[in-house]
Structure 1
Amino acid sequence: MSKFEPIEFFSKQSSALPSYSLLPFNFTELDATRYVVTNLAGEFILLERGLLHRLVEGGLSPTEPIYADLRARHFLSDSHSKMAPDLLAIKVRTRNEHLANWTGLHMFVLTQRCDHSCPYCQVSRQSEDKTAFDMSREHAEKAVALTLRSPNPAIKIEFQGGESFLNFDLLKHVVLTAKAANEQLAHPKDLKFIVATNLSVATDEMLDFCAQHEIGISTSLDGPRDLHNKNRPRPGDDSYERTIEGIARVRQRLGRHSVSALMTTTEASLSRGREIVDEYVEQGFGGIFLRPLSPYGFAVKTRFFRAYNAEQWLNFYDDALDYVIELNRQGLEFREYYAATILTKMLTCKDPGYVDLRSPAGIGMAGVIYNHDGTVYASDESRMLAEMQDTTFKLGCVDDSFETLYTNETFLQAVDETFAYSAPMCTDCAFEPWCGADPVFHWRQQQDMVGRKPESEFCQRNMHIFRGLISRMENDPYVRRLFTQWAHTC
């Protein structure tokens, strides 16, 4: 039977004509009495247990108020909605159209040198000579050529480290080389650049170059001064001051919205979620992305990753999210970006393309990374894993052809196994249309690209957040309006 082929139920009043046909859907418990029911396009509805049973058994009457809602959202079809399967198929195709564009994000590790010594560093930063840990011009030029081979019409080159600005000469060379090569294409790409930097070594020359070429800045801000400096130490104990000063200088030269910031949750952060949000508000950011530690690099060697569990992080997340909602209720426009990303998938027909919430997995297809030594990995996390002597997700090197890199057997296996429609347990989960796969995380944790879902912290975190977002919307009309706004402006 086709996935879109309806299941017909006959009316108890007539054995000749079907009352309605079920379109494909999954259901998962929300709480003790209600289920989240989703269709293939990610549209959802809440049904109480008894009503769900009657729907499945063919016992709903067209006169019931819920009937029209179920029909409008493509959970069932009848003689008045014969086009429902085709419309559902169009919505599914629209949500997945990004897959045809292939890789849009290309990350260049310019150097692994860094002036910070963050104990949770996930990239195993180095501080030795640049000949060993800087990307060469030859490798960079080959990476640019591979980047522009991507069929995606919109390309973003992101400079990573270490500290990206410690190899500023190469950064300039890549920008100028990529722009010149792009202009020679028959169909030039929409080419954009972004630098991941702690801003501690950023000079006026560097920022002026970024302004001239419209290069965005992404930095790190873990919270108030004492917390940031504890998490991100550097000689002089002035990491926070340099970051705040750098943000102000970037805004002065590049514009107010040219800089974004990310935080990482450590054990010291768990009781300070509201203070961290306040810091982002004070620094003039329009939102915050609350993220846990990842099991790579120094975060494992220093045992930072195991300093707290998923439940503790979710308590931190819930408290901080509720505080963000309260700030909005008081009139301050501020959002939590991870929630906004999920809500976009829940409440609209578009997919924001967040790598960790894609099916099949976003590694390789959404982003690829060129390491400082010329090796190519399927994601940033893949090269972090490689620094721990596990090169499972290595695609090849910059000397390889575009075709060779993207027909790598491990990459194709990961794409195949992380297609959630067919992954064990995912295929039956109501949250599947909003979720994704993280094969690198599961490989690191369980030596399995798909992962054992009952033991997966990835699943535990996301399912809790999905349920929490729905419950907040259902219990408070203001939150529903706020979340709808976030979804449509993500």
Structure 2
Amino acid sequence: MRVREYGFTFYNRGKEKMRYKIPDNSLLKKYKIQEGFPYIFDTGEIIALTNDAGDFHTITPQELHRLLSGEVSPQSTLGKILLEKNLFPGKIDKDKEIDRLKKKLRFLNYGPNLHIVIPTLRCNQQCLYCHASRRPEQKTGFDMTEETAKKVVDTIFDTTSQEITIEFQGGEPLLNFDIIKTIIEYAIEKNKVTNKELYFSLVSNLSKIDEKKMKYLLDKGVLFCTSLDGPQEVHDSNRPFSGNSSYKETIKWMERINKEYKKRGYDTNLYHVDALMTTTRNSLGHAKEIVDEYVKHGIKVIHIRPLNPLGFAQKTWEKIGYTTEEFLKFYFEVLDYVLELNLKGIEIQERTAALFIIKMITDRDPNFLDLRSPCGAGIGQVAYNYDGKIFTCDEARMMYEMGEDLFLLGNAGKDLYVDIMGSPITRSILLASLLDAYPYCEGCALKPYCGICPIINYMEQGDIFGSMEHSSKCKINKAILGYIFNKMHNPSNELLQIFQKWSIFRARE
């Protein structure tokens, strides 16, 4: 039976928890509803109906009762809507559903296109939540060599994907700038033969950049991403910097690089320094100030992310951590304020919500590897440590730095690409991130929009096949999707336009 009753408890921002029970569950047996009934998700306010392809419609509890009772005909107003959206019980067009599902799962045919490279594990900052287990700037033995760098690039170009993004992370990658240049030059040279779509990006705190480095990176088309946790007080408390202000350094170079983009004639709506925000206990209570900081600097996207229990964050959790409920309270304060600003004409989007909306109202996969089934580990992204060791994803590499080699796939220059992709580790991660492999997820109405991270399962529960009932990621995704479904129920034209704008993708040329 595909009908499920979850009785989902929705965290309603300070109000009492709400729970709606489907009336008269005997109706399920009475009407013998089996195949062809849409999935049901109860937000505590309305009911969302979905199918495997992600089509959805929201109805009231009373309308659900009528639907279960067989009182809704295909000719009725509701019936026509459900037919159009391929959600009418017993009349779901499987061919139509499969065709849409195929479009959303196209990524399964590509191969890894995101290749995260660690030029060095050294860093000049001391972030309280550092997931990478960075090493002090003065330490030796944690830099990638030229020989290893070329072996890594050779492995990257074995991918079956026609598109390659090489993303430099750390540590602070600019501390080994010569190797960044080596990788860029060698990759460009190799690509003269393979003719792939080749992109580069840099994730940096920007404190080690200068005019010469900036010019080189911009000339090579490298995209920039940095961390901005909020106003100076919040940012500096999260990211100590040897007596200096990490905030001031970040803002100075963000503005300088963005000015250079404009000078070169780029569309600054597309070409600018992107920013990542990590939520710590220091962030709580500063929702509006953090959003205002992004608006002040013209940043159009803010991504509210919870801490992962990796690296230094695990050791400092008592100081910087929080409960899932505390995170959600903060998240909804941000999202409410972001929507309030949009209704006033100030453009900024919250990325997690935007990713879900893209998956809900388009046929396009937003290329966010955490929200895929299976996830992107191994088949969408691969991570390469400074010493050439290869991992399923960057989180797996972080686990290795914590002493866990469970997700180590091999070594660049030693192991063949086909063996890495076909290894038992890759296969296990794929299976552990496949939503249909979990009884709790298989019949969930949110399955088309969701994803599982086996690494987080392992950290939280000691098993890559976690119990999703007890997963913080599951609770967060349910709450956010519940919020969006509530907003999607009879939305104003203004709100609908905001969500539609968030779903539009403009490619950099």
Give the conservation status (yes or no) of the 8 Å contact 2:374–2:433. yes
Distance 1:305 1:52, change over 3 A: farther
Contiguous gaps of at least 5 residues in structure 2? 3-32, 263-267
- Counterpart of 1:318 (choices 320, 332, 338) is 332
- Residues in 2 aligned to 1:220 and 1:314: alpha-carbon distance in whole angstroms: 21
State how far apart, in whole Å, the 2-side matches of 1:113 and 1:304 are: 25
> What is the aligned-residue identity percentage?
35
Cα shift at 1:334: 1.1
State the distance in 2 between where 1:128 and 1:353 align.
33
For residues 325-348 of structure 1, give each alpha carbon's deviation from its aligned partner in whole angstroms, at most 9, with x where no partner exists.
Answer: 111111111111111111000111
The yes-or-no answer on 1:281 pairing with 2:295 is yes
Contact 2:123–2:137 at 8 Å: present in 1 too?
Answer: no
Question: Secondary structure of 1:465's partner?
Answer: helix
Q: Which has the higher contact order (CA 8 A, sep 6+)?
A: 2
Q: How many angstroms apart in 1 are the aligned matches of 2:501 and 2:137?
A: 48
TM-score by length of 2: 0.88
User: Does 1:360 pair with 2:374?
Assistant: yes
Name the CA distance, whole Å, in 1 between partners of 2:444 and 2:197. Answer: 37
Contact 1:23-1:74 at 8 Å conserved across structures: no
Give yes or no for contact 2:124–2:137 (8 Å, CA) kept in 1. Answer: no
**Map 1:453-464 → 2, pairs under 5 A:** 453-464=468-479
Letter of the 1:60 counterpart: V
Which residue, 458, 476, 488 being the options, matches 1:473?
488
- The residue that corresponds to 1:485 in the other structure is 501
**Structure 1 range deviating more: 126-135 or 61-70:** 126-135
1:210 has 2:225 as partner: no
Q: Which residue is 1:23 aligned to?
A: 36
* Structure 2 SS opposite 1:268: coil
SS in 2 for 1:362: coil
Aligned residue in 1 for 2:22: none
- Is structure 2 residue 246 aligned with structure 1 residue 232? no
1:35 aligns with 47
For 1:96-111, what aligned pairs fall within 5 Å after superposition? 96-111=105-120
Q: In the alignment, is the contact (CA less than 8 A) between 2:307 and 2:321 conserved in 1? A: no
**What are structure 1's unaligned runs of at least 5 residues?**
3-19
1:88 to 97, 116, 120: 97
Question: In the alignment, does 2:340 pair up with 1:333?
Answer: no
Does residue 113 of structure 1 match 2:113?
no
CA distance in 1, matches of 2:496, 2:477: 19
**Equivalent position amino acid for 2:301 in 1:** G
1:157 pairs with one of 134, 148, 166: 166
- TM-score relative to the length of structure 1: 0.91
The aligned residue for residue 66 of structure 1 is 78
Conserved? CA contact 1:227–1:269, under 8 Å: yes
How far apart, CA to CA, are the structure 1 residues paired with 2:274 and 2:221? 14
**Contact 2:47/2:61, CA 8 A, preserved across alignment:** yes
Q: State how far apart, in whole Å, the 2-side matches of 1:196 and 1:304 are.
A: 27
Q: In the alignment, is the contact (CA less than 8 A) between 1:99 and 1:365 conserved in 2?
A: yes
How far, CA to CA, are the matches of 2:432 and 2:243 in structure 1? 48
**Contact 2:110 2:160 survives alignment (8 Å):** yes
CA distance in 1, matches of 2:469, 2:34: 33
**Structure 2 residue aligned with 1:258:** 272
Distance of 1:192 and 1:295 partners within structure 2: 30
Contact 2:38–2:88 (Cα < 8 Å) also in 1: no
Q: For each residue in 1:192-230, what CA deviation from the matched residue of structure 2 results, as whole angstroms up to 9, or x when unmatched?
A: 000110000101111011111110011011111111111
